[in-house]
A and B are shown apart, each in its own frame.
Chain A
Amino acid sequence: MPKKVLSIVATAYRATLEEQDDTVVWLMHALRGAGAPVDVLLRGNATNYAVKGQDASGLAFGERQQTQPPRVDQDVAKLAANGARVFLVEEDLAERGIERAELITGVESVARAALPTLLAGYDQVWHW
């Protein structure tokens, strides 16, 4: 039985323009591709990753234009579509004024008070 892992992402938009993705979300995709049953909890500023319709296009330096901007909302949605459970901390959403209707489909919100129970359901918890 493979170990169940919950990956907590708190730091948001760190070098996402250069990487063209969030490196931790990317790593979760890669690990799931390798057979790891990894779920994701977005907390703090990273809850904004679940807001749909983000557009980071248009970056250019001189005549060098970025053609593949990061699409973090879509990357998170793909994680959920591929079977990962993606959790968001309810209070972190509320503190940032993020409404449920703004979120991509497939994500689950969880109250801060319920986090210990959620974390206890995993063999390992990785906080990035």
Chain B
Amino acid sequence: MAARKILTFAIMDAPYESARSTTALRLIDLALRRGCDVNVFAYEGAVAVPFAKQQPHPNAVHGRSVEEEDHPNPKDWVGALMAEAKKRGLTFNWVQCGLCVDERGATEWIEGPRRGSPADFWKFVEASDNTLVIPTK
């Protein structure tokens, strides 16, 4: 049986700013569905993607309550991906750039991601079959 592929993603965009954040998570979702182990290095604004204090809200313009709006918080998407990896017996590492976290005061995140540094990113890269950088523009 062939060894599982390992993919590393470096992401930079903050949530709610760009389609790139969602695209990155869609690619990660697909990688997991195809049986790959996944590493994520969250750099710059991307450290806010799993920020724990994101809250859904009602939307008066849409005319929907908080329940009806079912507003997606990226932290829940990250949590869902982590649950998917666990269900499939895959490894899913998410490292938050520590200095980026400190700059932004984004020190609270959901269970799963951990604080790290560019050295962790390099370890991911060395251990991976490939790396995809999704930079901010």
Give the interface of A toward B (CB within 8 A).
13-21, 26, 29-30, 33, 59-64, 66-68
Q: Does the CB pair B70–A61 fall under 8 Å?
A: no
- Listed A/B pairs (23) with beta-carbon separation below 8 Å: A13-B19, A14-B18, A14-B19, A15-B17, A15-B18, A15-B21, A15-B22, A18-B22, A18-B74, A20-B69, A21-B62, A26-B61, A30-B61, A62-B87, A63-B83, A63-B84, A64-B76, A64-B77, A64-B80, A67-B70, A68-B68, A68-B70, A68-B71
Asked if A18 meets B21 with Cβ closer than 8 Å, knowing A61-B77, A64-B77, the reply is yes
Chain A residues near B22 (CB-CB < 8 A): 15, 17-18, 59
Known contacts: A30-B61, A68-B69. The answer to whether A15 contacts B19 by CB under 8 A is: yes
Known interface pairs A63-B83, A64-B77; A19-B62 also in contact (CB < 8 Å) = no
* Nearest residue, chain A, Cβ from B79: A64
Q: Which chain A residue shows the least CB distance to B33?
A: A62
Asked whether A20 lies within 8 Å of B62 as measured between CB atoms, the reply is yes
| Inter-chain contacts of A62 with B (CB < 8 A) | 29, 32, 80-81, 83-84, 87
Does B64 touch A at the CB level, under 8 Å? yes
Q: How many residues of B contact A (CB 8 A)?
A: 30
CB distance from B80 to the nearest CB of A (A): 4
Contact of B15 with A18 in the complex, beta carbons under 8 Å: yes
Chain B neighbourhood of A33, CB < 8 A: 60-61
B25 CB within 8 Å of chain A:
yes
- Residues on the B chain within 8 Å of A68, using CB: 62, 64, 68-71
- The minimal Cβ–Cβ distance linking B89 to chain A, given in whole angstroms, is 14
Interface contacts beyond A64-B72, A68-B70: sample of 18 additional A-B pairs, CB < 8 Å, sorted by A: A14-B19, A15-B21, A18-B16, A18-B21, A18-B74, A19-B16, A20-B62, A20-B72, A21-B61, A21-B62, A33-B61, A60-B29, A61-B26, A63-B80, A64-B77, A64-B79, A66-B70, A68-B62
- Bound: A61/B29 CA distance, A: 6
User: Complex: how many Å from CA A63 to CA B33?
Assistant: 12
Give the complex CA separation of A68 and B58 in angstroms.
12
